Amino acid sequence: MKPLLTGATGIVGANIARELIGRGCRVRAFVRQTSDTSAIDGIGVETAYGDILDQSSIEDAARGCDMVFHCAAIFAYAGHSAEEMFRTAGDGTANVIRAAARAGAKRVVLTASSVVFGSSSRPCVIDEDNPGSEPAASVYEQSKIEQLHRAQTVAAECGIELVCACPTLCVGPYDKRLTEGNAVISNYLRDPFRSTWQGGVNVVSVRDVAAGHVLIAKKGLPGSCYLLGADNLSWEAVHRTIAELCGVSGPLFQANHTGSYLAALTHELSSFITGERPLVSRDQAKMVGRYYWYSSGRAGELGYAPCSSHHALIEATAWLCASRHVSPSLRSRLRLSDDVLRAHPSFEGKVS
């Protein structure tokens, strides 16, 4: 297999690259000229430069590839305009699928998101055949829904096989930009109030998500979506696990929807002054009280078998605390558990 991989420098893409290389594939990574490629440097990928919004550059990169993994996307709840997010999700994905078809590739594996199946106001589990609802979807969620619909339409027009991987909240290594999953850990450690909030989430190791992508590429049914997650947890359980793994207190306070929205507004106003990324956005506050709980049973039928969410948080905490995302002063105040300390040496390039 010689796959083209877009979004190769992101957390999901970098882990897919390693999974494919480990299976003997010749991977061509499609990246921007300005991208920080340190997450994939030295692992043996071929590099092609361009932008998914530039049709000619993605067509050039796709030549000679028999499959495309499309991971390039904007995963953020703040810092990007709605126009930018929708254009990247919609036009960028359409460009990638058309380029794959013109290159003669047979299949495109799209990294979508579990949020395309919605959420619930109650603690119930959602699957591909029984979606939830999303009455106040964030711009990110709307962009991923639009991406999926656009991908399905263009794939049908081009006659190319499309399979969609829909990860839940990913945590783990090779996250240069600190995406939302790992930010849950770092934000809790930085939060002086040690707060949690109502609702729930499904947390999964990004390494399992990468393996799931490759599994779907080989065995997935054309036109199908596959949820890739692990365990369903309340947010209180997630934050309590982080506290235990890092030897800190809490959670001490549970925020409701109104409190979360007011706190998010304060953080966003502060970010305008400091130029730093807000700890939480108003779009994220809209998600408080909802349950993003999913079943990966369909992927399980193909052989998908992720580690527990608890183990995923151990690995992610170990990697994160050895990275530049946790400052030395903060690291010195943590009392990492034995599980985290044992996991630490298992990662390449412990300090990044």
Q: What is the pLDDT of residue 348?
A: 45
Residue 119 has pLDDT above 80, yes or no: yes
- Please name which of 247, 229, 230, 140 lies closest in space to residue 188, comparing C-alpha atoms: 247
Helices and strands in the chain: count of H runs, count of E runs: 14, 13
pLDDT over threshold 60, residue 281: no
C-alpha 87/C-alpha 261 separation (Å) is 27
Beta bridge partner(s), residue 194: none
- Per-residue pLDDT averaged across 263-269, rounded? 54
Please, what is the angle between helix 235-246 and helix 180-190, to 10°? 60
Contact 184, 238 (CB under 8 A): yes
Average of per-residue pLDDT across 159-173: 98
Segment 188-200 shows an average pLDDT of 92
Distance, in Å, from the CA atom of 136 to the CA atom of 151, rounded to the nearest integer, reads: 23
Distance, CA of 185 to CA of 296 (rounded, Å): 23
Q: Is the pLDDT of residue 330 over 80?
A: yes
pLDDT (average), residues 181-193: 93
In the chain, what percentage of residues exceed pLDDT 70? 86
- Choose the CATH number for 3-171+203-229 among 3.90.1150.10, 3.40.30.10, 3.40.50.720, 3.40.1390.10: 3.40.50.720
Listed as own residue / partner, the contacts of 286-289 with beta carbons closer than 8 Å and 24 or more positions apart are 286/136, 286/138, 286/257, 286/261, 287/119, 287/138, 287/199, 288/197, 288/198, 288/199, 288/255, 288/256, 288/257, 288/260, 288/261, 289/121, 289/197, 289/198, 289/199, 289/256, 289/257
Residue whose tokens read 């420098």: 9
Q: What is the pLDDT of residue 287?
A: 67
Least confident among 56-60, 339-343, 346-350: 346-350
Provide the 10 A C-beta neighbour count for residue 183. 21
Q: Are 204 and 229 in contact (CB under 8 A)?
A: yes
Q: Tell me the CA distances in angstroms from 13 to 59, 209, 213, 264, 323, one per residue in order.
A: 19, 10, 10, 29, 19
Q: Between these two residues, 47 and 285, which has the higher pLDDT value?
A: 47
Q: Dihedral sign, CA of 126, 131, 135, 141?
A: positive
Q: How far apart are CA 16 and CA 28, in angstroms?
A: 12
The average confidence (pLDDT) of the chain is: 90
Report the distance separating Cα 202 and Cα 329, nearest Å.
30
Q: Summarize pLDDT for 229-262 with one digit per residue, the tens.
A: 999 999 999 999 999 999 999 899 887 655 555 5
State how far the Cα of 339 lies from the Cα of 200, in Å rounded to an integer.
24
Specify which of 136-150, 234-248, 273-287 reaches the highest per-range mean pLDDT.
Answer: 234-248
How would residue 350 be classed by pLDDT, with cut points 50, 70 and 90? very low
d(CA 106, CA 35): 28
Under 8 Å between Cβ of 153 and 90: no
pLDDT tens string 218-229: 999 999 999 999
Closest-CA residue to 100 (of 56, 15, 160): 160
Least confident of 29-38, 84-93, 205-214, 262-271: 262-271
